[in-house]
Chain A
């Protein structure tokens, strides 16, 4: 039981990170109807920028951990958002009214560009950082000596995710931008006729998605203590799987899917085999889609003839 509780905690933390990335996929899909294959690499870039900012801040003599974290978060979000904005501008906007596969291939190309760019710019080797946030709480000590621990970093990851999710839900539901986004999602032509700046709204969607991916990248860096140029691919695929599992286009679905994928992966690794944890996650995706072709919370697509 203790072992299970510990795995549950680990799975939820991993799931939170996946969920943050998955939101970026789901938002972009909802509004422009394309798979942003480069999103996983945006997450990787976010991690790298967080790492570099952290190194600079430490070497100029800053020691207060909360200040460092806040600054790293802000810088990473700002620069990564600009990456999201630029990519949309260069690679997706010219193809917006093209046929379905064109923006997707452009996105795959962009993903190769970003992966290789950071490999060339920062080297191929894994970049480790010493643990920044240490300590934690012992929740329960079993009779057999097994300790269920909840570390501070895990608390921070989960709390950040919850806060961002709340903020984001509020943004979509209550603000002008959110209303514009929902309008563009339903009908871009009609929205533009009613005075919604469609281009700007789509750009903002990419910016917000990239900012959330940057947070996820920073959390990944803090939690696992390393980044490398290839981490965007696997994380991106998992997050995309999460978004589809939850029903692509649905925000709560993305979070739910993220948590599920995180849990499946962690529990499978804990009870069965680490080698096949990804196979398990993908297989469950396929099984779910057989019975629910539009994911767990996705709205069924009604096709008019």
Chain B
């Protein structure tokens, strides 16, 4: 007993020293990193001269946080054990998990349908729900390009912008209704998708990434600078609200409330918008699931896994890539049109690279190709983002940090397995660690 205890003690002795040493090094690095950026504050005075003052208190606090954080992290890592440890799940728990897994999708769907009923009086939750669903839809749209076809797209927001501006311009200039503009916005966005698709057909991997990023920036810059058409940085305001197939949701005589002989409430429109985006998102999901069973969907997935093998098997990679871009872009366009009608006002500020990165993060975090994963990731990202709204200026800091941590924690995303679309006899999910990603 005594020997055992002393052994444990000697084992812990150097351990504590190691943890402490690591913490001291981290603190020193933090001290140098933050010495000037936090220790000194600069500000331009009223006369245009820069002044500076010291903030050594903040600096000391930050270094202390890093020191403590380093110790806590190291202890947490010890407690959790090596990353590769296989955790055996007892069969009974496995059964529960698999039941929960199967019940999750219907439960989530039913809950989503009931959200406007449950939270009818909570305008904030309804608005948040609409926002989350918009990103679910964008995530599912981008999933076609990135998750299924394996084409890295960093400029997805361009199609969102094209959809939004198509609807806004058509509706304000020609007075077309939302239901006519919606397909038009989708078609225009798909057209832009093909437009982007053509030059990038021969590009791979990171060349593709930069061209899509450049494309997104070009669209944004053109919107900002083409003032006669788009109103430039001021954007377009007074975009008509959607009607329920021609019946306006207004307090007037021909409004829905009057027709149904119920009292008018502005919440009606919010609820309508909620179901509208839910329908659009489910449409995206349904089309994607159907397409995956068609030859084109199979071709997308084959393209993702290996482009050379694809070509050897006689798949036309040109049309495969172009349809992937066009389909993804079309859903982005739908979402954009919805965004425009919901906001009533759009400006280039809503279509920055940040949005593209957010949607891409949702897709990758969702597990690249998993529809449920994307929905959960959108809920986690947008919901989490909302939780930190009170932090104001630290919000992006938290958001960026969360992105880094989530990637380190689960680089394969929340749902990190692939359900094969074609299988022999038995359908088994494959852990995505085993799947080699193509370079497309």
Contact = CB atoms under 8 A, between A and B. Distances in A.
Interface of A: 29, 35, 45, 48-49, 51-53, 55-56, 59, 75, 79, 82-83, 86, 90-91, 94-95, 98-106, 108-123, 125-129, 233, 237, 240-241, 244, 248, 275-276, 278-279, 282-283, 285-287, 289-290, 293-295, 301, 303, 305
B291 interface: no
Contacts of A51: 42, 50
A112 B406 CA distance: 14
Contact of A116 (B43, B397, B402): B397
Contact of A237 (B38, B217, B402, B407): B217
B208 to A, nearest CB: 9
B107 interface: no
B75 interface: no
Interface residues of B, number: 67
Contacts of A94: 408
A5 B1 CA distance: 86
A111 B400 contact: yes
Interface string B49-83: 01010000000000000000000000000000000
A293 B207 contact: yes
B403 interface: yes
Contacts of A91: 404, 407-408
9 tightest A-B CB contacts, nearest first: A109-B403, A112-B400, A113-B400, A102-B411, A282-B214, A116-B396, A98-B411, A275-B225, A109-B404
A117 B397 contact: yes
Nearest to A110: B404
Contacts of B402: 109
Given A83-B33, A106-B403, A244-B207, A122 B42 contact: yes
B394 to A, nearest CB: 6
Interface string B363-394: 01100100000000000000000000000011
B399 interface: yes
Given A106-B408, A241-B214, A120 B393 contact: yes
B100 interface: no
A233 B37 CA distance: 19
Please report whether the interface of chain B is mostly helix, strand, loop or mixed according to DSSP: helix
B404 A86 contact: no
Contacts of B401: 109, 113
Given A91-B408, A110-B404, A112-B403, A56 B50 contact: no
B393 A289 contact: no
A95 B210 contact: no
B377 to A, nearest CB: 12
A144 to B, nearest CB: 31
B86 interface: no
A127 B199 contact: no
A218 B97 CA distance: 56
A45 B207 CA distance: 26
B353 A233 contact: yes
Interface in B82-104: none
Contacts of B40: 52, 55-56
B184 interface: no
Given A100-B437, A241-B210, A282-B214, A289 B408 contact: no
A126 B42 CA distance: 10
B322 interface: no
Contacts of B16: none
B210 A49 contact: no
A56 B36 CA distance: 10
A35 B210 CA distance: 10
Contacts of A112: 354, 357, 396-397, 399-400, 403
Contact of A128 (B50, B214, B312): B50
Given A116-B400, A289-B211, A282 B217 contact: yes
B29 A113 contact: no
A105 B205 contact: no
A26 to B, nearest CB: 11
Contacts of A275: 221, 224-225
Contacts of B36: 48-49, 52-53, 75, 79
B199 A289 contact: yes
Given A94-B408, A120-B397, A285-B214, A105 B29 contact: no
Interface in B207-229: 207, 209-211, 213-215, 217-218, 221-222, 224-225
Contact of A282 (B32, B48, B205, B218): B218
Contacts of A248: 206-207
Contacts of B202: 290, 293
Contact of A305 (B211, B222, B308): B308
Contacts of B146: 101
A260 to B, nearest CB: 14
B9 interface: no
Contacts of B404: 90-91, 106, 109-110, 113
11 contacts: A51-B42, A55-B50, A79-B36, A99-B412, A102-B407, A110-B404, A121-B37, A126-B44, A279-B222, A283-B218, A303-B308
A137 to B, nearest CB: 28
A29 B396 CA distance: 26
Nearest to A227: B42
Contact of B357 (A83, A108, A290): A108
